[in-house]
Each structure stands twice: as structure tokens, then as C-alpha cells.
Amino acid sequence: MKMSFRWYGDSDPVTLEYIRQIPGLEGGIVSAVYDVPVGEVWPVEKIQALKAKIEAHGLAFDVIESVPVHEDIKLGKPTRDRLIANYQQTIRNLAACGLKVICYNFMPVFDWTRTTLAKKLADGSTTLAFSVKEVEEIDISKGISLPGWDSSYKPEKLKALLAEYASVDAEKLWSHLDYFLKAIIPVAEEVGIKMAIHPDDPPRPIFGLPRIVKNRDDLARLLKIVDTPANGLTLCSGSLGAGPENNVEALVREFGGEGRIHFAHLRNVKITPQGDFEETAHRSDCGSLDMAAIVKAYHDVGFTGYVRPDHGRMIWGETGKPGYGLYDRALGAVYLNGLWEAVDKFGAR
């Protein structure tokens, strides 16, 4: 297991100088090129500059998160072939710069969705949370106002985009994903890159938009579209774990045992029967997921890929990008590495 840490570039208040002080970051930094418009080719020069900056701090740079998939590809519009060709070239450019894994997702319009970025917990920390009731009470015709990803679009653009998706049901979205994977996976395989799709977050339809990477059957179906190790998963415990029907440990054992998990996001969540959830500290006793059992499952299947502590709480007065502060994620990295070391040395007793 190679522990890594997400970094958002020069605008990130969490600096590489701080990150390098976290022990056990064998997997180095997970980052991306953020100043290239979605759908355009990532130039080799920009990738090399990012890599040089990270490596200058003594950190590896093997994993990209993410190369966004343009909405026209998800919608199956005529422009998708040009955009897919650009995506293929970005894969080639990343491989030429020594990158090994690309995380991406196929969620329509919204990436991760939360109803609050700063729910106050009993210990005084704040965290990301999702309320089903709050989402259901939103009148889409009057616009959507949620923290985070809805700000990626102006109201008029968002309304038009949602209208375009009105004719895209789950099976049509599957057909568009099928088309995309059959175009990009052979390129990834050729250049030695592993593609790792991130599951839907939360793992359920939202605002009438289909979600098709949300459970065990979806993951199995996706992997069979192009049945090769280059077509793999970013198994996010927090995203999948927000669905009460998902057994994350079992998913690790099944798909990790098949060698199809290339990147793991380890995050704990506390869920309710109604489908609400809040993100917690990584420890098993803080949320609904048994993180110790999940880490042991990775160890048992011989996992050698990359992991990162996913979202963390904001603690000790830290401000910055919600979910991506330094302190709680650093605690998570050390805790998770500690679990791994314990299993490695002592096994199950």
C-alpha cells in the first residue's frame, strides 16, 4: 500500500513543505493540471512543470486526480469524438511524463455533492455533510443552490445542462460510458497507464440525473466493458459507504482480489437509515465503517496500489478548502499506515 496525499497546486494553502513532513508518504502527491479547460489536451510542458515542482520537495508524483470528462462525452453529443481524441492524447502525455494512474469519474453535471461544508460536530470540528431532506426540498425550476460543485456553472448554464440530461436515462448513460471506455482503455493499456474510475458521490440518483457507478453490480458491469487491468477502480470507501447496501470490505476483497483496484480513497462516514451522512475522523469508532477491517481486506488481497486519506474534518481552527485541510488528513494518513503496519507485523490475532 502506497500512501499519498492530495495537493491542489500553488493555490492550495496546504503547501508541499508541510505535506513532506507527514511520515510514510511512499505514494507521494496526487494532483492535476488545473489551468487547462475541460476537454482540451494537457500539454507535456505543464505536466512536466508540475512533476518537477513536486519532486523538488522529495515527493513522488504517480497519480493524477482527475482528468475531467467533458459533459458532451457523457451526453453522447457529436462533439464527443474530438473530445475523446483529446483525452486519449492527454493519457499519452501523462504516460510520457511517468504518471501511472489516472482517477476520473462519469458523474453527470455534479461531482461530489453536499448540503453543507461545515457541519459542526460535538467535538467542535466541522465537516462535510449531506441531507436527503434538504436536497428533496430544492425546487430545480428555481435553480440549485448547494455548496461546492454547483458553483462550477452559472445558473443559466446549469439549467440548460440539466435540460439536456432530461433525455439521458441510466441505460443511455451506460452506453455513453461504454463508448468512452472502448476508446480510451486501449490507449491506456498501450502506454502503461491504469485508469481508475471514481464511484458516484453520493451513490444514488440526484436532481433527476442518473448515477451508474454506485454499487457492486455497477462496478462489475463497468469492468466487463473492457475486461483488462487497465480498466480499473478508484474504490472510495466514503462514497460507496454512504450507501447502506454497500459492504466496502467485501468490495475490496472482490475487486482487489481481481487486481482491479488501482487507487483507494479511505474515508469514514456516519450514515443514517434515511440516507443522510456526515464525514468523520478516519478511526473505525468514529463512523459507520470499520476502517480496520477495510485496511485488513486490502492487506489480505495483496494490494500494492495507491491510497490516500480522503476528506478530513477541519480541526484546530484550520481554515481553507473544506474537507482538504492539513491536520485531519495527516492524522488519517498516519492512522491508516499504522493499521497497515499492525496487520503486516502481527496479522489477525
Q: What is the pLDDT of residue 291?
A: 97
The DSSP code sequence of 57-100 is: TT--EEEEE--PPPHHHHHT-TTHHHHHHHHHHHHHHHHHTT--
Three-state DSSP class for residue 203: coil
Strands 261-266 and 231-236: parallel
pLDDT at 111: 85
Q: Looking at residue 140, what is its pLDDT?
A: 74
Parts of the chain with a pLDDT under 70: 143, 145, 147-153, 348-349
3: Cα within 13 Å, side-chain hemisphere: 21
From first CA to last CA, the distance across the chain in angstroms is 21
pLDDT of residue 66: 92
Annotated catalytic sites, by residue? 198, 236, 265, 310-311, 324
**Does residue 341 contact residue 23 with C-beta atoms inside 8 Å?**
no
3-state DSSP call for residue 259? coil
CATH topology of domain 2-346: TIM Barrel (3.20.20)
pLDDT of 149 reads: 54
**Which pLDDT does position 348 carry in this prediction?**
58
Domain ranges of the chain: 2-346
Each residue's pLDDT tens digit, 242-273:
999 999 999 999 999 999 999 999 999 999 98
Residue in the structure block whose three cell numbers are 492524447 = 89
pLDDT confidence of residue 208: 87
Q: What is the pLDDT of residue 284?
A: 94
CA–chain centroid gap for 287, Å, is 19
Residues 6+ apart with CB under 8 A from 33: 42, 46, 47, 50
Q: What kind and span of H or E run contains 231? A: strand 231-236
What is the distance of C-alpha 243 from the center of its chain?
Answer: 16
CA distance linking residue 37 with residue 321, whole number of Å = 21
CB-CB contact of 39 with 61 (8 Å): no
Q: For Cα atoms 54, 309, 38, give the angle at the middle one, nearest 5 degrees.
A: 60
Angle (CA) 95-306-3 rounded to 5° is 125
Q: What is the pLDDT of residues 131-142, one digit of tens each?
A: 999 988 887 777
Query: Across the chain, what does the average pLDDT equal?
Result: 94
- Which residue intervals of the chain are DSSP H helices? 16-19, 44-55, 71-75, 80-96, 132-136, 155-164, 170-191, 216-225, 237-241, 248-251, 257, 291-300, 327-346
Q: How far apart are CA 115 and CA 49, in angstroms?
A: 36
